[in-house]
Amino acid sequence: FPEEWLADTFGTASFINGISAIIAGIAAQLVADRLGEIGPFQAAIALTALALCFVVFWEENYGGSNDKDNGDGKEKEAPSAWKAIVGDRKVFLTGAVNSLFEGSMYSFVFMWVPTMLGALKGSPLPTGLVFSSFMTCMSLGGLLFSPGLLLGLASAEAVAVGVFLVGAVALCVPVFTTSLVPILLSFIVFETCVGTFFPCAGLLRSKVIPDAVQGSVMNIFRVPLNVLVVVGTKMTDIYPPSTCFAVIAVWMLIGAGLQVALVSALGEGAKSGKKSGKTE
């Protein structure tokens, strides 16, 4: 795919993902109102069965391996992934920023409900409707990541820096207030950042990480991602929400710093490529 096609594809995927989640949130609220708290879990059985049908008939993508039968390609892919991470700073930075953003995001997923319940001070929380509102913002974020909008103003790697910074500011709001309206608005902003980051990260992975090892590289970075999620969720049992949000906001700021380093590394690579082209 040309880069502009990738941007549109990833942006559309993020938008459709958000729309699906909006419908799921509203449906979950309706089912919960009718069948109680267990209702959404019962309804999810049908969707899980549908997903299983897709998985069963989905042909495996073996990346750069032509040897599908004996698994030699997969055995060789893991060392190649490690070599890519260690040997190319851009690959390492791309994986690291993905881990930091998603680690912050999944920690947020565990924290937003108790935080909003605390802000409501005993009033009921329409969880499904709030979730659908968040997913609406996620869809909006996916639409923003297009050549006619954000990508028309800056490169994908520069957009990612802005996403990290705006997301960090949004996550700082619950650190300083327990009022419902500011907290809800900050969560809406953060979910918009999530919707923008997913297609942005997908485009950067396609640009930086070789296709043959991309799956293995990102699987390796699932380890620090899951460590961050474990730390984030464990903190909620020990510390107040304000402290937890402060910590994940710091993760986002670290991600912004690493993303700036990635922008610099990509710029250096582009300059060296131009120089070598002139030499030839």
- The verdict on residue 240 lying in a domain is yes
Q: Which residue has the tokens 């060789």?
A: 76
- The verdict on residue 280 lying in a domain is no
Q: What is the dihedral of CA 30, 36, 42, 44, to 10 degrees?
A: 40
Give whole-number Cα distances, 13 to 135, 192, 234, 254, in Å.
Answer: 13, 14, 32, 27
pLDDT band of residue 102 (cuts 50, 70, 90) is: very high
pLDDT of 147 strictly over 90: no
Structure tokens at 92: 């390492």
The whole-model pTM stands at 0.79
Cα(2)–Cα(6) distance, integer angstroms: 6
Structure tokens at 211: 């296709």
- The verdict on residue 91 lying in a domain is yes
Q: Considering all CA atoms of the chain, what is the largest pairwise distance in Å, rounded to the nearest integer?
A: 71
Higher pLDDT, 86 or 276: 86
Percent of residues, the chain, with pLDDT higher than 70: 85
Range of the domain at 244: 3-56+76-268
pLDDT of 165 strictly over 90: yes
Average pLDDT over residues 70-84: 67
- The verdict on residue 163 lying in a domain is yes
CA 63 to chain CA centroid, Å, is 22
pLDDT tens-digit readout, 234-270: 998 899 999 999 999 999 999 999 999 999 998 876 5
- The verdict on residue 84 lying in a domain is yes
pLDDT at position 41? 85
Q: Which amino acid is at 66?
A: N
Is 45 within 8 Å of 156 (Cβ atoms)? no
- The verdict on residue 61 lying in a domain is no
- The verdict on residue 132 lying in a domain is yes
Rounded to the nearest 5°, which phi and psi values hold at 80?
-65, -35
Average pLDDT over residues 10-14: 72
- The verdict on residue 273 lying in a domain is no
pLDDT tens-digit readout, 28-69: 888 888 888 788 888 888 888 988 988 888 876 665 555 444
CATH of the domain at 244: 1.20.1250.20
* 17 CB-contact burial (10 Å; exposed 0-12 / middle 13-18 / buried 19+): middle
Count: domains in the chain: 1
For the chain, what is the radius of gyration of the CA atoms?
A: 21
